[in-house]
Structure 1
Amino acid sequence: PHTTSPLLSRKDFYKILGVAPESNEDEIKKAYRKMALKFHPDKNSDADAEDKFKEIAEAYEILTDPKKRSIYDQFGEEGEK
């Protein structure tokens, strides 16, 4: 049986927001606002817009909290659990 590596399936919060791992909080905030507007369920009727919006919000929450971001950078999304 073929299993996928947990690293392959982990969410890349930097990629979700379209920012580099070395981005500062201002850059992350700007990217979040842009993505949130694009995928907000009230503005985007795509079937997956709400899921994408939640993913963007989760990425923003992690990357703007220095402690959570440090854990994420070290352990990926599994570090949050």
Structure 2
Amino acid sequence: MPVQFRDYYETLGVSKTATEEEIRSAFRKLARKYHPDVAKDKKAAEEKFKEINEA
């Protein structure tokens, strides 16, 4: 069974030609939005936060 890889650029919402600063900015923005201590739906936010951290 082939392993499926996630497109981390898509996860962060940036283009593949994004600069390091654009990637960092996108990560920080999403991390704040989906942090389990801040989000209302804790379970969904926790899963999304894990995806963002993996990217």
TM-score normalised by structure 2 residue count: 0.84
Q: What stretches of structure 1 move > 4 A for 4+ residues in a row?
A: none
Relative contact order: is structure 1 or structure 2 higher (C-alpha 8 Å, sep ≥ 6)?
Answer: 2
> Which residue, 38, 42, 55 being the options, matches 1:43?
38
* Matches of 1:45 and 1:52, distance apart in 2: 13
Paired position in structure 2 for 1:57: 53
CA RMSD across the alignment: 1.4
TM-score normalised by structure 1 residue count: 0.59
Q: Which has the higher helix share?
A: 1
* Matches of 2:34 and 2:18, distance apart in 1: 22
In terms of Rg, which structure is larger?
A: 1
> Which residue, 11, 18, 27 being the options, matches 1:23?
18
Corresponding letter in the other structure for 1:57 = N
Deviation by residue 1:3-51 (Cα, 9 ceiling, x = unmatched): 8x75xx4311111100001111100000001000000000113221111
Does the residue aligned with 2:39 lie in a helix, a strand or coil?
coil
Corresponding letter in the other structure for 2:8 = F
Q: In structure 1, list runs of 5 or more residues that go unmatched.
A: 60-81
* Matches of 1:48 and 1:41, distance apart in 2: 9
